[in-house]
Structure 1
Amino acid sequence: MTDNLPTAARDILAKLIAFDTTSRNSNLQLIAWVENYLSQHGVSSTRVVNADASKANLYATVGPNVAGGIILSGHSDVVPVDGQDWDSDPWTVTERNGLLHGRGTCDMKGFIALALAAVPLFKQGAKPVHLAFSYDEEVGCLGAPAMIAEMAAKLPKPALAIIGEPTMMKVVTGHKGITVHEVEVLGHEAHSSLPHIGLSANMVAVELMHDLADLARTLWEQGDPDSPFVPPHATLTIGTMAGGTAANILARRAHFVFDLRCPPGVDPEAILAPFKTKVAALNGEMKQAFPEAGVSIHQLSNAPPMTPTGSREAEAFVRRLTGDNGAAGVVSYAAEAGQFQQAGFATVICGPGSIEQAHQPNEYLAVEQFARGANFMERLAEALAR
């Protein structure tokens, strides 16, 4: 491995980390920077924007526009640092004891930086590399589908897609799917000493959350002990909740958001069907008492799982580049890999760093992992040159 690629990648990583692309923010400054970088290397790129053009995916073909190329994909957004105790500025790459600290170094701007640093090498290939950078992965894999659909329609058929989520540069061929739902409850305000003339949205929300907690325990108990996933069962957690205005007022509004993560072959709709039936029944009862009251459930996102189906050749190709001879793994987190697979691309996950560091205060990517990622990019360029 030459020194040029790791050095260039470190410089690019510093630029990418400096953009606060927490999912609640726009990512357009980062996208503009990447567009300019690619343009300097003679590579044109295409934006696929969201409904109000405040965020964008970006894809680009590096090398000849022919079939048989490789997709390298990563998400540009990161999770919040709010309330976390960081020892250094999360928006500045800080090296300590062989670890590169910063929000997104591991998940997953490190992979994006390595892919961009390798652009000069990829340009020389006989087969192309298709870069694909998305938005809003961290809030339900919302951004990628529109980009994936456009790539599937417009690009010469790629051989495979590599999603660079952190796997310690091991090959992963399966991940869980995720559905995210929001439940909103509208009650009828009254003095808290007179609950018979009002309806507390909080009390209804608590009842429904209790049902979900019971469901989560049932899923735990019904887990397949032979499943390769850890944990082996579908998981359900409530991520956010809010409601009420004062201790002595029956709450007018309450809402909460939960996610359900299912292994391949487990139907989230079947799991949630009894809960949705109860929501519908409660909604009717509440409206009978107070027409403005009620409860509703809305699906915010639904990302499919990834399975090993159709990925054998892709797995073998990536193994040759990484030197990974172990058994293919699976991961319990959701990713955009299932969306690429659903669109017809042979797909694997492989990237530097450990998922255990993702979303943590003082998130880091080990320098050793960054170097392995750089070596992977150089080997990929060599493989595509032939």
Structure 2
Amino acid sequence: MTPTEHWLGRLIAHPTVSADSNLSLIDELEQALTAVGADCIRFPDQSGQKAALLARLGPDVPGGLMLSGHVDVVPAAGQDWTVPPFELTRRGGRLFGRGTTDMKGFVAAMLALAARAPVLSRPLWLAISYDEEVGCIGVRPMLAAVAGRNIRPDLVVVGEPTSMRLGLGHKGKLAFTVTAKGEARHSSEAPLALNALHLAGDFMAAMRTLQDELAAHGPSEQGYSVPYATVHVGRLIGGTVVNLVPDSAELLMELRLLAADDPAALTSRLRDLADQLAAPHRTRFPTAALTVTETGGYPGLSTPHGAAVDAFAACLPPGTAACKLSYGTEAGLFARSLGVPVVVCGPGDMAQGHRPDEYIEASQLAVCDTALDAALARFCLASDPAID
């Protein structure tokens, strides 16, 4: 068993589902990193039941390398597992357990790298977050502190699973709750009422038109399966019984945006459309309304090639392809907060994440270890004109 595999077993043994505390794991990681000479800072949440951890090996100077990973995982309850989800199980070349791919495999590689790192001339930063799975929440206070200290690594690597391909972009996300307010009445007199479900349906039709507009005229970026911003309504809730016109309804929706899209402008557009749809009804129904409330999101990522990115690419196996990712990560937040190049690159395939019998190939961890050793030498051991 390699040191990375050993660490993976220790990480998997902590059932850090996003809804639960992660403090027992953070305690273990802080103790282990302190023991190998790292300076550690915790960033607790408001409840005191979770914390992010920032560790530094080497001198506190500009430059160097930052590796980032989250330790929260999605639930395993209700899934049909054939192995214990919170116990590492090996079958041939596969390592099974919740979080092996998403994304404790990369965090294990980070920890093993820290343990074998020699004396460094530039810093190696390890950023370990929580609540990524529920909206990239836990990394934000840590990033605010990092930006405030003017910490500027040459490169940030967010180790979400890319099969060790070089991820240069992903879409951002905006999530919304849209509340429709109508007027109730017995269904036998439905035309005399304002059906909130109908009002919500009008808004959904407007979203289909907006999607067509974005596809035809909005920013476009090749490399994605859908190369433009997407509009999606995922749930509509309203009504109680069939013989009562509902006076309220709620729909849940999201936008997936390119880095070139303007989130504020699109949010304003949604609210303008909602008001335009509700306004004609207010003569008869003064309380008619469609209210758009933003409930979360994160920025997209679009990283150009440059000296630091190319230096890291040279640490990957020859012929490794660059890619754009269909899922969101914390990388856009790092790029926005720190203003430095950020890439997404980690072991495993996201197709295995969030599923029963989640696993990672041991060979992927080996490729990751080799790449991180090369990156440590390139970014933290010697001054490199290519990235200075």
Query: In the comparison of the two structures, how many residue pairs are matched?
Result: 380
Amino acid corresponding to residue 35 of structure 2 in structure 1:
Q
Aligned residue among 313, 316, 333 for 1:322: 316
In structure 2, distance between residues paired with 1:214 and 1:89: 47
Structure 2 residue corresponding to 1:104, chosen from 99, 113, 118: 99
Superposition CA RMSD, Å: 3.1
- Tell me how far 1:115 sits from its aligned partner: 0.4
Q: Say whether the 8 Å CA contact 2:12–2:97 is kept in structure 1.
A: yes
Instruction: Report the 3-state secondary structure (helix = DSSP H, G, I; strand = E; otherwise coil) of the residue aligned with 2:302.
Output: coil
Determine the C-alpha separation between the residues in 2 that align with 1:321 and 1:96: 29
Deviation at 1:181, TM superposition (A): 1.6
- The residue aligned with 2:385 is none
- CA drift at 1:249: 4.4
Deviations 1:64-109 (A, max 9, x none): 2222221000122233446544333333333334222222211111
TM-score normalised by L of structure 1: 0.85
- Residue by residue over 1:291-327, the C-alpha shift from the partner in whole angstroms, topping out at 9 and shown as x without a partner, is 6664321222342222224x51222221222234345
Give the structure 1 partner of residue 334 of structure 2.
340
Runs of 5+ consecutive residues of structure 1 not aligned to the other structure:
1-5
Distance 2:39 2:245 in 1: 57
1:184 aligns with 2:179: yes
1:126 paired residue among 121, 128, 142: 121
Indicate the SS of the match to 1:323: coil
Provide the TM-score with structure 2 as the length reference: 0.84
8 Å CA contact 2:18, 2:131 repeated in 1? yes
Measured after TM superposition, the shift of residue 117 of structure 1 is: 1.8
Contact in 2 for aligned 1:175/1:306 (Cα 8 Å): yes
Match of 1:19 in 2: 14
Hey, what does 1:43 align to over in structure 2? 38
Output the CA distance in 1 between the equivalents of 2:188 and 2:266: 38
Instruction: Give the Å deviation of 1:284.
Output: 4.9
Alpha-carbon separation, structure 1, partners of 2:83 and 2:200: 39
Q: How far off is 1:199 after superposition?
A: 4.6
Give the residue type in structure 2 aligned to 1:334: G
Task: Kindly state the Cα deviation for residue 287 of structure 1 after the two structures are TM-superposed.
Answer: 6.5
Say which SS state the counterpart of residue 68 (structure 1) adopts.
coil
> How far apart are residue 140 of structure 1 and its match?
2.9
Measure the CA separation in 2 of the matches of 1:17 and 1:218.
Answer: 45
CA–CA separation in structure 1 for the residues paired with 2:202 and 2:50: 37
Find 1:385's aligned residue among 378, 381, 385.
381
Distance 1:247 1:331, change over 3 A: same
1:278 aligns with 2:300: no
Would the aligned equivalents of 1:261 and 1:334 in 2 still touch at CA under 8 Å? Answer: no
Cα gap change, 1:87 to 1:190, in 2 (>3 Å) = farther
Would the alpha carbon gap of residues 294 and 329 (structure 1) be closer, same or farther in structure 2, given more than 3 Å must change? Answer: same
Report the secondary structure of 2:232's partner residue.
Answer: strand
Gap change, CA 1:26 and 1:225, over 3 Å in 2: same
Q: Tell me the SS of whatever aligns to 1:318.
A: helix
More displaced stretch, 46-55 vs 361-370: 46-55
Q: Partner amino acid for 1:340? A: F
CA apart distance, 1:168: 1.1
2:48 maps to 1:56: no
